[in-house]
Structures are given as structure tokens and as C-alpha cells.
Amino acid sequence: MKQNRNGIVGSMAAVAVITSLGLAGCSTTAGVEVTGKTTWDEQGARSLEKNVQFNNSGLKGDIQIVDVKSIMAGDVMRVQATLRSKDNATLPFQYRFEWYDGGGMEINSGAGSWKPLILYGRESKTIQSVAPNPRAKEFKLKIREPD
């Protein structure tokens, strides 16, 4: 009886191991999504509405979005995000910026490429991007673990 129970526990553990192997081996998680939208108040002052969403609890333990800011270079929007590592080890990440116009339509849809980013232990680093053209009013920054 006791042996049988041990067997069940053993196979349950095996299933858990299989599941975790399968996930770790062949998937890249959605990671972190930071969105920002340029808005103007009645006085014409520009401000940035921002939102940070973690879709991966592992990544939430690794990095922190310290700050997101945006300025205009002429008529083109520029964005900078400050990231901080919460880990003591050197961690590799990838990030990508996507840009949207005032109507929420993506500009050059799917044209953005992932860029490598290395964060040393407890380091904070900034990543920047420039809008592809003056129509861009919103951006989405995606950060993930390397695929």
C-alpha cells in the first residue's frame, strides 16, 4: 500500500518535471510590456500616459522599470526607459519598440526588430528609441528573455 502511494507521488513528480522541461525548452514568454501615449492638456502642455504590465513573474523578479520618459526631437517623439536589474548575476534580455499613430494604428506594422540588452548584476541601464516618423504618438516597449 505504502509502496503504491510512493509510486503515485513519483509519477506526479515526473509529470511536473516533464511539464517544466517542455516549457523551458521551447517557448519565449511575453515578458514585460510598457506602453506610453502622448497627450496634450488645454494649455498645450505635453504629457506621457504610461502603463507597465508584467506578463511573466520570473521577469518581474529580475528587472524593474524605474522610469519612462519622452521628449520631442523636432516633430519626432523620442522615448527612454530606465531598467534596473534585481539580480546579482549578469542577465541577457531582448527588447523591441513598436510605434502607433494618434488613431492607435501601428506604424510599419511588424517591422521592428528585437535588440539584445545585457544587464550586469544590480545595474540600471537606459534604452532609447526614436519614432519612425512624426505621426507616431504612442509606443509599446516589449522586454523578454532571449529566445
**Binding stretches for other proteins (CB under 8 A):** 3, 6-7, 10-11, 14, 17-18, 21-22, 25-26, 73-76, 78, 94, 96, 108, 110-116, 128-130, 132-134, 146-147
Which residue's CB is nearer to other proteins, number 88 or number 113?
113
**Lookup result for grid cell 506604424:** 107
DSSP annotation of 1? -
CA 129, CA 135: separation in Å to the nearest integer?
Answer: 15
Which residue's CB is nearer to other proteins, number 51 or number 126?
126
Which residue's CB is nearer to other proteins, number 51 or number 115?
115
**In 10 A of CB 117, how many CB atoms?**
16
Q: How far is the CB of 63 from other proteins (least distance, A)?
A: 17
Q: How far is the CB of 42 from other proteins (least distance, A)?
A: 26
Q: How far is the CB of 53 from other proteins (least distance, A)?
A: 21
Q: How far is the CB of 147 from other proteins (least distance, A)?
A: 5
Which residue's CB is nearer to other proteins, number 14 or number 66?
14
Which regions of 19-75 does DSSP assign to beta strands (E)?
32-40, 46-54, 63-73
CA 73, CA 76: separation in Å to the nearest integer?
Answer: 5
DSSP annotation of 106? B
Would you call 43 helix, strand, or coil by DSSP? coil
